[in-house]
Amino acid sequence: MKYETVMGLEVHAELSTETKLFCSCSAKFGAEANDNVCPACCGMPGMPAIVNKKAIELGVAAALLTKSEITREMTFDKKNYFYPDLPTGYQITQFFAPICRNGRVEIETQAGKKTITLKQIHIEEDAGKLVHDTRAGATLADFNRASVPLIEIVSNPDFRTAEEVTAYLEELRLLLSFAGISDCKMQEGSMRCDVNISVREVGADKLGVRAEIKNMNSLKAIAAAIAFESQRHIDALETGSETLVQETRRWDDALCETFSMREKEDATDYRYFPNPEIMPVSIDDDWVESVRASLPESARDKYARMTETLGLPAHESRLITQSKNLSDIFDAVSALCGNPRETANWIVTELLSIAQGDNKGYDDIVIDCGNFAKLIGLVDSKVINRNVGKKLLVKIFEENIDPAAYVEENSLGMVSDADVVAKAVAEALDENAKSVAEYKAGNQKVTGFLMGQVMRKLGGKADPQVVSAVLNKQLTM
Ligand SMILES: [Zn+2]
């Protein structure tokens, strides 16, 4: 290994506030274009900017979770540039006094544990979104996202491999989403990442020429872009095939290559200056402590509680704590049905496969927790068998049926009457004399088939334990 890749990350995470950073427009994703705009977020002259307190609190929460030093008097500044997605002509950000500095995030890769150090986290407003309409040859501007609050988490150049980068992004996603700071949905753009990348000879002090790959929003694309860009730098150093320049590049997912967008501006090009319309915000100890006290359980703590306190399997606990949404479903359902073990099992073995069949990620699963809990109770108390339960879970997922009423209306109650089962078993054995002969010749495997035949006769509703007992008895008679 002659070369090493050196990377630093700038991660943008949209804050989970109801409203925008300096006005009362909704910050929700997915509205009709330009529904969530007002004179303030469109930069009309004379509109006052009022700081969103919740955004500051979420910023403080991010500072606490990354063990950063919180700035006690923070200010907002103007970053000037002209681009059609920015109606004001400047972005309000924190240049001189960001909300915190010198944090750290622990990650774990195949190579072991590593600490990634953070330069700073600052709060800023997002820009709007441009939609390129190729048929009309026009570009349309949607300002719903303009002035939605976000934090930018700026790391030091501590990364050496794509694996470290993805482990860090996963860790940030868990930290921020479990604390309710951001939903961190990369596919919706609420978490995006710029990768600063350079290559140098192993042992060299000086960093190589740096390229910045902008606006990456999937882990897969990030890993591919890092691989491509590292190789491009190495080729340039080895063969002199091109002269590396400091620049901004974009990743093309279809072509699997990066392309030059523009040569990198230096910070001074933005003409940062303090925003005279926004008062500095003072953050005192009481405020910090109240935010600390309000932090919910982290993914790590939840995992420890599930495995240690509740004694649940590590595999199930790990899957559930991959997603804030899934963890919330687990908490709600297990509280309602009083059976965390069964809840975890139903989520991992059944709910996840139903969701996968519907192309839903963990964060996008929607299910009525009350009906889900009722279903687990019905199976637990042997009102229905597990197979019927599985079918009902699909019905709850798709149509939100009430499982108790549905069982009643469709007579799905479990058949455990020994006489009824014995009759069905006798019929099944009569009809499958060949399998019975195989069993008597020593092939135990046919019991599974015979079990299925009996179950079918009983409409899939029988108690499998009763069927198994009766079947074994009749076979050995
Ligand atoms: Zn507004």
What SS3 class is residue 61? helix
Strand 138-142 to 149-155 pairing: unpaired
Least confident of 25-39, 251-265, 399-413: 251-265
User: Residue 378 C-alpha to ligand 1 middle, in angstroms?
Assistant: 49
Strand 247-252 to 211-216 pairing: parallel
For residue 268, what pLDDT is reported?
61
User: Residue 403 C-alpha to ligand 1 middle, in angstroms?
Assistant: 45
Single-letter residue type at 221 = A
User: Residue 17 C-alpha to ligand 1 middle, in angstroms?
Assistant: 13
pLDDT digit string, tens, across residues 381-423: 989 999 999 999 999 999 999 999 999 898 888 888 888 888 9
Q: Which domains does the chain have, with CATH numbers?
A: 3-285 (no CATH), 297-409 (no CATH), 418-475 (1.10.10.410)
User: Residue 36 C-alpha to ligand 1 middle, in angstroms?
Assistant: 7
User: Residue 19 C-alpha to ligand 1 middle, in angstroms?
Assistant: 8
User: Residue 146 C-alpha to ligand 1 middle, in angstroms?
Assistant: 8
Cα atoms in the 13 Å half-sphere on the side-chain side of 420: 12
**Tokens coding 80:** 């000037």
Strand 211-216 to 90-93 pairing: unpaired
Closest CA to 362 of 183, 164, 120, 169: 183
Strand 281-282 to 104-109 pairing: unpaired
- Over range 22-29, report the average pLDDT: 93
- Over range 238-245, report the average pLDDT: 86
- Over range 138-146, report the average pLDDT: 93
DSSP notation for 378-426: HHHTTSS-HHHHHHHHHHHHHH---HHHHHHHTT---B--HHHHHHHHH
For residue 264, what pLDDT is reported?
60
User: Residue 477 C-alpha to ligand 1 middle, in angstroms?
Assistant: 80
Structural contact between residues 283 and 70, judged by C-beta atoms closer than 8 angstroms? yes
User: Residue 28 C-alpha to ligand 1 middle, in angstroms?
Assistant: 12
DSSP notation for 161-213: SHHHHHHHHHHHHHHHHHTTS----GGGTSEEEEEEEEEEETT-SS----EEE
For residue 154, what pLDDT is reported?
98
- Over range 99-114, report the average pLDDT: 96
Q: Rounded distance, CA 25 to CA 37, Å?
A: 6
Q: Looking at the predicted structure, is the pLDDT value of residue 369 above 80?
A: yes
Phi, psi of 188 (to 5 degrees): -95, 0
Mean pLDDT over each residue of the chain, to the nearest integer: 92
pLDDT digit string, tens, across residues 275-334: 988 989 999 999 999 999 999 999 999 999 999 999 999 999 999 999 999 999 999 999
User: Residue 315 C-alpha to ligand 1 middle, in angstroms?
Assistant: 45
User: Residue 84 C-alpha to ligand 1 middle, in angstroms?
Assistant: 17
For residue 476, what pLDDT is reported?
83
**Tokens coding 287:** 């405020």
pLDDT band at 81 (very low <50, low <70, confident <90, very high): confident
For residue 75, what pLDDT is reported?
93
For residue 213, what pLDDT is reported?
92
Per this entry, what is the length of the chain? 477
For residue 284, what pLDDT is reported?
95
For residue 233, what pLDDT is reported?
92
Long-range CB pairs of 433-440, under 8 A, 24+ apart, other chains included: 436/475, 439/475, 440/475
Q: Rounded distance, CA 42 to CA 39, Å?
A: 5
- Over range 201-225, report the average pLDDT: 89
Closest CA to 216 of 177, 249, 178, 180: 249
